[in-house]
Structure 1
């Protein structure tokens, strides 16, 4: 019973908990899993949600992992400031269906375009729940960003996502745009070795390995924009990082993306523009590069990351400015690549 289990309630009311989401985003569904809670699972539950501003959150002490006791009056008083019992319902009171571990998952679809930061899980009246999974996509409030600082436009926490790849034998490309730094090789994108590599490898005059074949991943940016800085981290990939890489960008409509996904990105897209030429990579190192596209007309919606010939990358950061707040960079100031429209928030 590796989960949350409350005592057998002998007072009025029902049990609940408030959970802060790892990232702000749109919720698409829930999995309320009551595996192994045979005979003492929560018979019913509901889920509420709220979008709370970080700077307006009250001071709330962490409940922690303390067991064997209910919340203290001071904790109840602090959490009451959130007024969580008044939050919007994403799942109304619903009966939970037990079963064996494989069939004890209770799935609920959510059809809401709003961003959420917190959820409240109510159980009626008490009992146990093994796991709560909140599925969705990250979504950033682009009106709240600092227009002077570049932001990672491909971050999964903001809504970036991998929409196609050639190989993911050891790790999915979505790992590269994940939250925070890499934890291990398993927390990155790693491909199988190309089987058609030559028996003896050679370099060109620039030190780039001369081999045929490559692996690639295509990402939809969280927001269309201009990429100005690129970070490629090969941490933990000491003997299996790529020799080199390149990055391209383009603008695709929703329909064009759907068509390319159906065709598994096998049809050439002539809209690709170079963001980073073929560049040598170092193992176990975080490397930064300037993008080739420093003009406003090079707004992109998608990026293609190609590694040559194969290997692993921990993190990919494509930093820049959302297209709605960018102007051409001032000619005489290399420190500030772009000027920003006054009152841009009203134009988003």
Structure 2
């Protein structure tokens, strides 16, 4: 693995005002994995199933979607209330050996909401200024239908590495081509971590997809991926393939206002080669900022020389509404889809219902076997 951007040392004590004013974080553009979804996100079903200790702050905070909150006035029976996972201070066996041993550490096991290949990690120590760990380590395993704590087949994603306080410590993961379901975060020797982000590529279970038959080929939980978009000013395009309905505007994909003659777009990689039969374009919560029209284009990258072809052309969109559209039987197979929105605006969800082709099903099964470790 290689380190993208990490920090060391303690941050200065909180001095009032905006608690994020002295927060240390890299520019998102510096991170090669920033465009990939956080597979541990609570919105996707991520959960923290076990921890060695959570005396000061609960382990479940590690996978919360929103950034960590800090209120300098909030104290409880055990001390300062922190929005993260914080353990008690470790001690040695005697006054002349008061510090913990070099290998002493606390750990927490995170079950990913969507299994997949982890490409990048963010160990966020926001607001842990003098009480963050000196170093962390992250391992992964594939433990289907289990909580992961008892797993023995752990592979290292991040070796024991120093981290800094009140910072987004970011690490690219290289050379671990394996589908995993759980992560184990170890902190040396103790302390607090606000959030753990595991950016990566989803890898669905082919047996589950085969049992479904017809499903949303673009859905993140089925192996779909938002590859790129013309604009992500207000929110990322990956939101359109999240599970469930968008509850608020920020849970969709919204672009800035255009002042030119162009239009915005997003590009999706489908779960595998498949045939789309029905499309849902949801503009939920976009009441004064929905696009006026949308077009859908398809690409079959499995066919040499194939280009983008239209599936829906300039379809009018209504604000705050679900648009259900049927595609003709002649639409043909596709591996990618591109939604053009005219001229700009917000899309809450995009559903592309269909089924895998025989070649697509074989490809999904082969990739699953390849990444089984």
TM-score normalised per structure 2: 0.63
The answer to whether the aligner puts 1:287 opposite 2:353 as a matched pair is no
The answer to whether the aligner puts 1:28 opposite 2:119 as a matched pair is yes
- What secondary structure is seen at the aligned counterpart in 2 of 1:145? helix
Equivalents in 1 of 2:230, 2:134: separation in Å?
Answer: 45
- What secondary structure is seen at the aligned counterpart in 2 of 1:113? coil
TM-aligned CA deviation for residue 323 of structure 1: 2.0
The residue correspondences of 1:186-201 to structure 2 (distance < 5 A) are: 186-195=250-259
Equivalents in 2 of 1:347, 1:124: separation in Å?
Answer: 36
The answer to whether the aligner puts 1:302 opposite 2:336 as a matched pair is yes
The residue correspondences of 1:240-255 to structure 2 (distance < 5 A) are: 240-252=289-301
- What secondary structure is seen at the aligned counterpart in 2 of 1:157? helix
The residue correspondences of 1:141-156 to structure 2 (distance < 5 A) are: 141-147=205-211, 149-156=213-220
The answer to whether the aligner puts 1:83 opposite 2:150 as a matched pair is yes
The answer to whether the aligner puts 1:136 opposite 2:200 as a matched pair is yes
Equivalents in 2 of 1:132, 1:48: separation in Å?
Answer: 12
Question: 2:273, 2:359 within 8 Å by CA — same for their partners in 1?
Answer: no
Given candidates 351, 354, 368, the residue that maps to 1:320 is 354
TM-score normalised per structure 1: 0.67
Name the counterpart of 2:269. Answer: 220
Name the counterpart of 1:238. Answer: 287
Name the counterpart of 2:245. Answer: 181
- What secondary structure is seen at the aligned counterpart in 1 of 2:221? coil
Question: 2:202, 2:225 within 8 Å by CA — same for their partners in 1?
Answer: no
TM-aligned CA deviation for residue 230 of structure 1: 0.7
Relative to structure 1, the CA distance from residue 346 to residue 15 in structure 2 (aligned partners, 3 Å threshold; closer, same or farther) is: closer
Equivalents in 2 of 1:303, 1:112: separation in Å?
Answer: 28
Equivalents in 2 of 1:193, 1:117: separation in Å?
Answer: 39
Query: Could you give the per-residue CA deviations for residues 110-167 of structure 1, whole angstroms, max 9, x where no partner exists?
Result: 4222111111222333222233221212111223324453121112333433334334
Greater Cα shift, 310-319 or 277-286: 277-286
What are structure 2's unaligned runs of at least 5 residues?
Answer: 1-81, 94-103, 369-373
Relative to structure 1, the CA distance from residue 2 to residue 172 in structure 2 (aligned partners, 3 Å threshold; closer, same or farther) is: closer
Name the counterpart of 1:9. Answer: 90
- Tell which structure's C-alpha radius of gyration is larger: 1
Question: 1:182, 1:315 within 8 Å by CA — same for their partners in 2?
Answer: yes
TM-aligned CA deviation for residue 11 of structure 1: 8.0
TM-aligned CA deviation for residue 229 of structure 1: 1.4
TM-aligned CA deviation for residue 235 of structure 1: 0.7
Name the counterpart of 2:234. Answer: 170
Q: CA-atom RMSD, angstroms?
A: 3.4
Equivalents in 2 of 1:122, 1:24: separation in Å?
Answer: 20
Equivalents in 2 of 1:311, 1:34: separation in Å?
Answer: 34
Relative to structure 1, the CA distance from residue 115 to residue 347 in structure 2 (aligned partners, 3 Å threshold; closer, same or farther) is: closer
Question: 1:228, 1:294 within 8 Å by CA — same for their partners in 2?
Answer: no
Query: Could you give the per-residue CA deviations for residues 32-86 of structure 1, whole angstroms, max 9, x where no partner exists?
Result: 23344344332343222222223xx37xxxxxxxxxxxxxxxxxxxx8xx413x2
Equivalents in 2 of 1:128, 1:315: separation in Å?
Answer: 35
Name the counterpart of 1:98. Answer: 164
Relative to structure 1, the CA distance from residue 18 to residue 164 in structure 2 (aligned partners, 3 Å threshold; closer, same or farther) is: closer
Name the counterpart of 1:275. Answer: 311
- What secondary structure is seen at the aligned counterpart in 1 of 2:287? coil
- What secondary structure is seen at the aligned counterpart in 2 of 1:174? helix
Question: 2:209, 2:222 within 8 Å by CA — same for their partners in 1?
Answer: no
Query: Could you give the per-residue CA deviations for residues 86-130 of structure 1, whole angstroms, max 9, x where no partner exists?
Result: 23132465142335x35x625352422211111122233322223
Relative to structure 1, the CA distance from residue 228 to residue 125 in structure 2 (aligned partners, 3 Å threshold; closer, same or farther) is: same
